[in-house]
Amino acid sequence: MCGVFGIRSAEREVARLAYFALFALQHRGQESAGIAVSEGGRLTALRDMGLVAQVFNEQQLQALPGEVAIGHTRYSTTGGVHWTNAQPLVHHGRTRTVALGHNGNLTNAGTLRDELIADGIRLASTSDTEVIAALIARDPAPLPDAVAATMHRLEGAYSVVAIVDGTMVAFRDPHGIRPLTLGRIGDDWVVASESCALDLVGAVVDRDVRPGEVLWLDADGMHSAQAVPEGRGAACIFEHVYFARPDSRLGGTEVHTSRVRMGQKLAEEAPTEADLVMAIPDSGTPAAIGFAKASGIPYDEGLIKNRYVGRTFIQPDQELRAQGIRLKFNPLDEIAGRRVVIVDDSIVRGNTMRQLVSMLFDAGAAEVHVRISSPPVVSPCFYGIDMADEDELAAAHRSVEEMREHIGATSLHYLSLDGMQAATRMPEGSVCRACFTRSYPTAVPKDGRTKLRFEMAPVLGP
Ligand code: SF4
């Protein structure tokens, strides 16, 4: 995951706008947050562990003056959860200093790291992101050429914002796997992972950054180049299913609308007799609304979500762990004696769904029909979504009936691949669906995902 934002404005308080934009991108990463600014070429960066509201205060924002700002919220896929991997990363190279925020995941980071280290370059972090910064920072070519040369070396997913010598740069991988949107506030340009961040800062959407395109914003305005040829379109379909905020627009469609359609199609494909349609809040809510609309079964709340439970580092004891799901959800009395349809966007490991189904039966539900608004997740993501390894994916080696037994539901149905695709209104050849199909748009590492593979590796050059 991860959220990125960038702005150049001589008139506006760029750090404050980045700060607000990061609130809109908080759902894309809650491990750390950061902002880097440039004032007349002087770079300052502030990043720390935690949520945006925990990292920044008024005093700190006032200490970030400048005409260029980039921001980042992190959810790690390569590199551990610690301060050195918080972004924007700042890398001091032979040619230039680069502050950089990245959404995505490189599939050739190991090779590139080895090459940089062999070249005597010191890497301070254990993420794939610093590789991008280091390649740009050591290249003696003019900035746009250095970025283009770097993009030619990168494989996998990257939507990037950076500040280099006072210039804001944004670029996207040739498949456009992760989103990146360009907007305007008056005469000023902004980029963000999702349009909801543009809405929040009062910007209007101009267009998506094109796959393979690099943008750079300097005192003369915005410039654009097709740095690498556009490849086969592979926008992540899981952004439509779950990751993106429902009020963002992807491929011209509001995400909420796509999810309601997924629920409608699911009701058409897998109807059932029931008294109540409910969602696993909030991820299943739009699809549950769609399911209720199409089926005519009333939609109601059946589970109350505790919205104050973030990532907790406090391990519950044995007794509490057994009912750990109640930390997040509690059922309402009204499900007692009723046949319920419960809708969620996906099943990954299956533990949460199994606990929820059991909790609903304990609360007196007569039947629990589980409906999932995407197909079974059978293969891991190598492009920036920390789902799970294949052996942890509940559906990877189980039939739908075995999955039903595994979660203990009365019935279980998934939305078909075609149903999901149609709901997004995106052409089939323009998206990545690899976690459902095992058909990846690029080469992926044969040894699977290894998130912490650089933690033990030497990070200093000779
Ligand atoms: S593998 Fe799945 S989650 Fe990863 S980019 Fe492709 S569709 Fe998205």
Quick check: 423 and 345 in contact, CB under 8 A? no
Residues identified as active-site: 2
The answer to which of 136-145, 170-179, 215-224, 321-330 has the lowest mean pLDDT is 321-330
The pLDDT of 50-68, averaged and rounded, is 95
**Each residue of 352-389: pLDDT tens digit?**
899 999 999 999 999 999 999 999 999 999 999 888 78
**Residue whose token pair is 């406090």:** 314
Most distant CA pair in the chain: distance in Å?
A: 71
The pLDDT of 132-152, averaged and rounded, is 97
* Strand bridging mode 68-74 / 3-8: antiparallel
Burial of 416 (0-12, 13-18, 19+ CB in 10 A): middle
Q: What is the pLDDT of residue 1?
A: 78
The pLDDT of 149-161, averaged and rounded, is 97
Residue 244 near ligand 1, beta carbon < 6 Å? no
The answer to which of 126-130, 158-162, 188-192, 318-322 has the lowest mean pLDDT is 318-322
Structure tokens belonging to residue 213:
């395109």
**Residue whose token pair is 């990070």:** 459
SS (H, E, C) the chain: CCEEEEEECCCCCHHHHHHHHHHHCHHHCCCEEEEEEEECCEEEEEEEECCHHHHCCHHHHHCCCCCEEEEEEECCCCCCCCHHHCCCEEEECCCCEEEEEEEEEECCHHHHHHHHHHCCCCCCCCCCHHHHHHHHHHCCCCHHHHHHHHHHHCCEEEEEEEEECCEEEEEECCCCCCCCEEEEECCEEEEECCHHHHHHCCCEEEEECCCCEEEEEECCEEEEEECCCCCCCCEECHHHHHHCCCCCEECCEEHHHHHHHHHHHHHHHCCCCCCEEEECCCCCHHHHHHHHHHHCCCECCCEEECCCCCCCCCCCCHHHHHCHHHHCEEECHHHCCCEEEEEECCCCCCHHHHHHHHHHHHCCCCEEEEEECCCCCCCCCCCCCCCCCHHHCCCCCCCHHHHHHHHCCCEEEECCHHHHHHHHCCCHHHEECHHHHCCCCCCCCCCCCCCCCCCCCCCCCC
* Strand bridging mode 276-279 / 339-344: parallel
Residue 158 near ligand 1, beta carbon < 6 Å? no
- Mutation probe of ligand 1 site: the residue of 237, 348, 431, 439 with most atoms within 8 A of C-beta: 237
Q: How far apart are CA 88 and CA 51, in angstroms?
A: 15
Residue 235 near ligand 1, beta carbon < 6 Å? no
* Strand bridging mode 411-414 / 367-372: parallel
311: Cβ–Cβ under 8 A, 6 or more apart, which residues?
A: 30, 31
The pLDDT of 266-285, averaged and rounded, is 96
Residue 381 near ligand 1, beta carbon < 6 Å? yes
d(CA 106, ligand 1 centre) in Å:
13
Please provide the size of the chain in residues. 462
Nearest residue by C-alpha to atom 5 in ligand 1: 236
- Flag whether pLDDT at 462 surpasses 60: no
% of residues, the chain, pLDDT over 90: 83
Domains, the chain, ordered by start: 3-234 (3.60.20.10), 253-429 (3.40.50.2020)
The pLDDT of 395-421, averaged and rounded, is 97
d(CA 158, ligand 1 centre) in Å:
13
Residue 15 near ligand 1, beta carbon < 6 Å? no
Q: What is the pLDDT of residue 238?
A: 96
Q: How far apart are CA 402 and CA 396, in angstroms?
A: 11
Q: What is the pLDDT of residue 319?
A: 65
- Give me the residues paired with residue 99 across strands: 90, 163
The pTM of the full predicted model, rounded to 2 decimals, is 0.94
Specify the ligand 1 atom closest to the Cα of 377: 2
Residue 240 near ligand 1, beta carbon < 6 Å? no
d(CA 242, ligand 1 centre) in Å:
11
Structure tokens belonging to residue 56:
């920044």
- Give me the residues paired with residue 90 across strands: 99
Closest by Cα among 419, 447, 449 to 433: 419
- Flag whether pLDDT at 168 surpasses 70: yes
Burial of 400 (0-12, 13-18, 19+ CB in 10 A): middle
The answer to which of 213-217, 317-321, 359-363 has the lowest mean pLDDT is 317-321
Q: How far apart are CA 84 and CA 278, in angstroms?
A: 42
Specify the ligand 1 atom closest to the Cα of 239: 8
277: Cβ–Cβ under 8 A, 6 or more apart, which residues?
A: 288, 291, 292, 295, 297, 298, 299, 300, 340, 341, 343
Please provide the average confidence, as pLDDT, over all residues in the chain: 92
Neighbours of 89 (CB within 10 A): 27
Quick check: 235 and 250 in contact, CB under 8 A? yes
Q: What is the pLDDT of residue 26?
A: 95
Confidence of residue 347 (pLDDT cuts 50, 70, 90): very high
Q: How far apart are CA 446 and CA 444, in angstroms?
A: 6
The pLDDT of 403-422, averaged and rounded, is 98
- Flag whether pLDDT at 459 surpasses 50: no
Residue 236 near ligand 1, beta carbon < 6 Å? yes
